[in-house]
Amino acid sequence: MGELTVTPLWFDSLGVKSSSLLVETPDLCLLVDPGAAEMQPSFPLPPKEKARLRLSALNTLRKMAKRADTVFISHYHYDHHTLPSEAPELYLGKQLWIKDPNRFINRSQWQRARLFLQELCRLQGIDPGSVLTDPLPFDGPPLPQDPRDLKWLKGLLGLWREGPWIKEGVIGNCAVEFADSRTFVRGQTRVRFTSPLFHGAQFERVGWVVGMVLEIKGHKLLYSSDLQGPVMEEYAAWILQEEPDILILDGPPTYLLGYMFGFRELERAIGNASEILRKLDASLILYDHHLPRDPLFRKRTRGLWELAERLQRPFLTLAEWLGKRPLVLELTESA
């Protein structure tokens, strides 16, 4: 699209938990969320085949990383980043734009972020303690009214304020900058990162993510990261306000329906995605990640696909963009 090239690398519809892109302009080559994780136990593949697919995805990320000069990590789930000890070539010698590891982050991702940066240090013979610093003052988020949410958030505020914090800067041959709420300009390419967004519904325990908008000469890509639908109406409004030419949007995790994802959240996610479909005249809406882990994902979100067909919107999974069927449907409908 003009001087903007977007290459989707791996997404869930190909049989691996992943949400990775290579984005190229004359000014930069950006690898987005270089993570690949095996599918959950309920996914209808033998463990060896899940591992084989995951390795295939990781090898693709390694290959494409050779072209990249910059890497973006939206949050610290392993389907969005790979540890440096397993694939150092994803990160060494590159500019790293990463989710702030010190604030608006839950406990498990706090620990994973530190493991990520510790490994980046050790690979280059650097003392991991050299990237630690004392916490800085900051304004926390508005406090929720629900007592359970309030208790959870107050616990995190204590964690964030006690530290130790990771500091930005050069780690060997890597330059590390926190992406949250930042804008970076490379030549005529402008990359804007959102403030921390909830990973699903408000005060969802899995934490926060950072979305990205990349623009060059009137063309725009929006990468939402894990908004799960989106569940929140204000995130759908943000997407519509941006009016991207290419939208990379994840779906609701229906494979967790009734367990870690509620029916009310599914209803909201479908409603918000429907609003985006009706109002956004995009060249492509890639609707993948989370959703194609579920053999019933088409039935559970049937209205979306029917609406896209009626409106003739380019709304599809990565597998379909490649002329294939989502793997989970190939496996279950042919059985």
* Residue range 155-193, pLDDT digits in tens: 999 999 998 999 999 999 999 999 999 999 999 999 999
Q: How far apart are CA 312 and CA 68, in angstroms?
A: 34
pLDDT of 335 above 60: no
Q: Which residues of 311-331 are buried (b: 16+ CB within 10 A; e: fewer)?
A: eebebbbbbbeeeeebbbbeb
Give me the percent of the chain exceeding a pLDDT of 90.
Answer: 96
- Asked whether the beta carbons of 172 and 203 are under 8 A apart, the reply is no
Give the mean model confidence (pLDDT) for residues 57-86.
98
Q: What tokens were used for 82?
A: 């790979």
Q: pLDDT-based confidence at 75, cuts 50/70/90?
A: very high
Q: Reply yes or no: is the peptide bond before residue 164 cis, omega within 30 of 0.
A: yes
- CA–CA separation, 134 and 97 (whole Å): 21
The answer to whether residues 305 and 315 touch, using CB atoms and an 8 Å cutoff, is: yes
> What's the distance, CA 237 to chain centroid?
19
pLDDT of residue 334: 66
Pairing mode, strands 219-223 and 197-198: unpaired
195 closest CA partner among 264, 99, 95, 101: 99
Name the DSSP letter for residue 31.
E
Q: How far apart are CA 307 and CA 277, in angstroms?
A: 8
**Would the CA dihedral through 32, 228, 166, 183 be positive or negative?**
positive
Does 281 have pLDDT greater than 70?
Answer: yes
Q: Name the strands in the sheet holding 174-178, side by side, starting at the edge strand that comes first in the sequence.
A: 5-11, 19-24, 29-32, 70-73, 95-98, 174-178, 169-171
pLDDT in tens, 134-162: 999 998 888 999 999 999 999 999 999 99
Structural domains in the chain plus CATH codes = 5-333 (3.60.15.10)
What local confidence, expressed as pLDDT, does residue 101 receive? 98
Integer angstrom CA distances of residue 21 from 11, 130, 239, 271: 9, 32, 19, 26
Q: How confident is the model at residue 243 (pLDDT cuts 50, 70, 90)?
A: very high
Q: What is the pLDDT of residues 94-113, one digit of tens each?
A: 999 999 999 999 999 999 99
Residue reference for tokens 């916490």: 135
Output the pLDDT for position 103: 96
- The dihedrals phi and psi of 279, each to the nearest 5 degrees, come to -110, -15
Residue 307, class by beta-carbon neighbours within 10 Å (0-12 exposed, 13-18 middle, 19+ buried)? Answer: middle
Measure the CA–CA gap between 207 and 106, rounded to whole angstroms: 5
Amino acid 74: pLDDT? 98
Q: What per-residue confidence (pLDDT) applies to 140?
A: 85
pLDDT tens readout for residues 314-331: 999 999 999 999 999 999
- The type of residue at 234 is E
Cα–Cα nearest to 201, from 137, 111, 269:
269
